[in-house]
A and B are shown apart, each in its own frame.
Chain A
Amino acid sequence: MRDVIVVGGGLAGLVAALRLRRAGLHTTLVHMGRGGLQLGQGTIDVLGYRPSLVAHPLTELGEFCALEERRGGPTHPYNLLGVEPVRVGVGFLRELVGEAMAGDIETNVLLPTALGGLRPTTLYPASMAAGTVSLDPSDPGALHDGSRVVVVGIEQLKDFSCQLVAQNLATIELPGGGRLETRSASVSFPGRGTEADSNAVAIARALDRPERRRDFVAALGRLARRGETIAVPNVLGLTDETFTAIADGLGRPVFEIPLPPPGVAGMRLTDRLTDLARAYRVEMILGSRVIGAETGLGRIRSLRLGTAGHETDLEARYVLLAPGGFESGAIELDSYGRLHEPALGLPLAVPDAELLNDSWAGEQPIFRTGVATDCTMRVVEPATGEPVHENLYAAGGFLAGAQRWDEKSGEGIALASAVRAADSIIEQLKES
């Protein structure tokens, strides 16, 4: 019988499956489509706001948790986990992807956004390193007071306005004082053939081809002035080699600015983790929705998948759920205002306060809804703290208590909880 079924192909699911497989367990990963990792920025946000800007995510985690404790309602995943699992989880990702990710778990940096703002993150793709603004007074950072940046747009890529980015960036007072000097420019570069509208992935694929890349590098080289750092939208190839080749070709600092979906950096990370899972022989069942479970004696015996022609019952000793939150349909609000977990009907931890309010950009308490777990990531009844099933664990956006987007904590929670849940299962199986 298989040891573990992991549900979900996002960051949490992929990393958990790899952790389990590397411990030698027979692991099956089931998902009904690609996860949110590919839609985000391709960065690892551990903790960006508490609600003030966070410079040192691990040292400030204690204060963040104390504040969460006082707030009440569903327990925040970081309050269950603590600092060490975050370090282990992020460390495990680095071990998996190597040089592809830059940054330091102890300190955050700021990165320019597609609207010309600055946002905090902890790890970032190597292709964004030349665009980092330091939050640490002892480190000047790649961009600082007086740094000159030319923001280059691509005419066919409508998701990125170089003027907007350049103008907004120039107005920001940097944390270390001073401002950036920016200007904008654009090049014409259709992704496929002569199309007038290209998406980021089509352009990235074109840049993976050496002959198209040469033209692009030449065009950038022509418009950059001496001493300028080049900022481009996140399109520099689906493979890591493409960025290296472009940076070498330009011979000056160049960095990518993340875009709205499809996110090329997130896609690189998803592809890389998926390739690893494949190479390690995680058994992968794609495009299948988990629709129920067979249970008995306090355990889940098998998960039921809605597969073509018939349902399939997959048996396993342990189940690790990482199906995400509202955004992936793992938690639903029906038209009667009731909250459900549609796959297994698990009990949900729901905030006591009003769930939705009419603030547009502010916090919506409903997003704290999710499943409750103990500190080993075993799913528990929110009211009693008793395990729902002895062998059921959860990780990632499925967990109650967080406001991932507002806190900028989504990837940190996903990594820490996925590795913690996987390690709990590994320990349990070792004991038995």
Chain B
Amino acid sequence: MSTTAAERGLQNDGQPSESFSVWNHLKKASPRLNNNPNSYEAQQLNRLSLDQCVKCTICETQCPVTRVTEMFAGPKFVGPQAERFRNGESVDHTLDYCSSCGICTLNCPQGVKIAELNSMARAVMKQGHMPLRDRLITQTSLEGRVLTPVAPLANWALQRKPLRVAVEKVIGVHRDAPMPVAQSQSIRGWLRHREGPMARRPGQPDRGPVVFFTGCAGTYFEVETSKKTIEVLEHLGYTVIVPRQGCCGLASQSNGLFDQARSSVVKLAGDLAKGGRHVPVVTSSGSCAGMVKHEAREIMGVEDRTVTDIGARMRETSEFLLALADAGELPTDFERIEMTIPYHAPCQLKGQGMGMPAIRLMELVPGITVVESGENCCGIAGTYGLKKEKYEVAQAVGRPLFDKFKESGAELGACDTETCRWQIRAGTGMDIVHPIHVIHAAYGLSDIHSPQV
């Protein structure tokens, strides 16, 4: 027997769920909705939640940007309050300082979609005068494709101060902003050239196929994380399918380029769906998972069956492995690793409601103690902290986190998403890895001190 509210007939007028029915209703009322995510109608879904605001100010106390700068009026003002006065044009330009980290939505006890409201309003505000910079930095897979063949040169160039100053002046990417390290081989190159799948761990059953979603960063920059995830999954008896895949469009979305983002996410879902029906989808790019599961629909109004299906099947690597452990199916005869690991759960991950599976997962390894940062945000928020006018804000947001990591005295820290790792690496000088790095080492597949990225 199931007793969800819907089934018990509390919503006995046949409406499956609140947000779903609103979308359907709006779509019927206005066919434009499907073509224009910035339309007035598309905004109504999240706007509806603003009436739930009781002005308790909990969001104000948690917003990491409000904490560090008076340039930003704060989530309650910019979100549910200013939204009442928006009729297309934004009445509050401090809105641009919102990093869309989602911490406000996460903490609002009344279910107001504050960050989502802000993202939509920003897209409208920037329509028609999108900075060149925001168009360029959102081309994440293009950047990877261009840089990978010339990786040593690219890395050399990115460390040249005069060049970075020029980039800041012309494009508006801050000269000290954290940058990824370009790799000479993409994950596709590695898959083509390796000698075959990793051998299955003795005694492990054939667990069937999983689709691996690499994400742009996992394809071109954080290649080591992708490799290690694939190897651990194979070690456990999975057949890992890595379909040819594009970008999820997250960076475009967070910069308000919704058309670009919509077509990216729909195309990506199609790419991943080629890996097989009902096959679990695993990813070590927590933020890209958030895009598919949450932002595509909640912010951009994407109603696409394949996106919904892939989102429902998708699990972050730690979430996936911990579920195995909880079902008693994960071999836990790990090698002992004596280490205290400071860990930061990125906003993008917290927003998905999975808790913090990486903590319990890493602590299954004997000798490991995880110290959670307890901080809301590292500051980078995707591309926010790269921008010349936001760089200082992002650094100030991240500082308490950097200090906690440094004070821990550890050499190695963990964090689940790529841009956050770049930010924390730059802010602490420490090696920051995806938690899979620890599990890979604990299964004896590598040394915990092996190359980091």
Contacts and interface: CB of A to CB of B under 8 A. Distances in A.
Interface in B272-322: 289-290, 292-294, 308, 311-314
Contacts of B290: 308
B267 interface: no
B107 A310 contact: no
B354 interface: yes
B81 to A, nearest CB: 14
Contacts of B1: 294-296
A374 interface: no
Interface string A53-87: 00000000000000000000000000000000000
Contacts of B289: 309
Interface residues of B, number: 53
A309 B293 CA distance: 4
Contacts of A34: 58, 62, 107, 109
Given A34-B109, A275-B374, A278-B374, A262 B57 contact: yes
A102 B66 CA distance: 32
B58 A287 contact: no
Contacts of A192: 68-70
A295 B1 CA distance: 6
Interface residues of A, number: 55
Contacts of A39: 56, 58
Contacts of A343: 5
Interface in B39-76: 52, 54-58, 60-62, 66-70
B352 A309 contact: yes
Nearest to A340: B10
A328 interface: yes
Contacts of B55: 261
A218 interface: no
Given A195-B70, A201-B61, A284 B355 contact: yes
A299 B374 CA distance: 35
B58 A33 contact: yes
A308 B293 contact: yes
A285 B354 contact: yes
A382 to B, nearest CB: 18
B110 A33 contact: yes
Contacts of A194: 70
Given A201-B60, A295-B3, A309-B293, A28 B355 contact: yes
A64 to B, nearest CB: 29
Given A33-B110, A39-B58, A199-B60, A342 B5 contact: yes
B56 A310 contact: no
B56 A304 contact: no
A88 B6 CA distance: 39
A339 to B, nearest CB: 12
A307 B5 contact: no
B355 A33 contact: no
B74 to A, nearest CB: 8
A287 B70 contact: no
A286 B60 CA distance: 17
Contacts of B308: 309
Nearest to A345: B8
Contact of A329 (B70, B111, B355, B363): B111
A305 interface: yes
A288 interface: yes
A44 interface: no
Contacts of B10: 340, 342, 345
A262 B106 contact: no
Contact of B4 (A261, A275, A304): A304
Contacts of A2: 326
Contacts of A35: 109
Nearest to A306: B353
B294 A309 contact: yes
Contacts of A308: 290, 293-294, 311, 351-353
Contacts of B66: 202
Given A33-B58, A287-B105, A312 B354 contact: yes
A309 B61 contact: no
Interface string A25-63: 000100111110011000000000000000000000000
A328 B3 contact: no
B198 interface: no
B312 A309 contact: yes
A33 B352 contact: no
A262 B354 contact: no
A267 interface: yes
10 contacts: A192-B69, A201-B61, A262-B56, A278-B372, A286-B106, A287-B107, A293-B3, A294-B2, A304-B4, A308-B293
Given A262-B60, A292-B3, A294-B3, 4 more contacts: A278-B374, A309-B289, A310-B312, A310-B313
Interface of A: 1-2, 28, 31-35, 38-39, 190-195, 199, 201-202, 205, 261-262, 267, 275, 278, 281, 283-289, 291-296, 304-310, 312, 327-329, 340, 342-345
The 3 nearest A-B residue pairs measured at CB: A309-B293, A292-B4, A33-B109
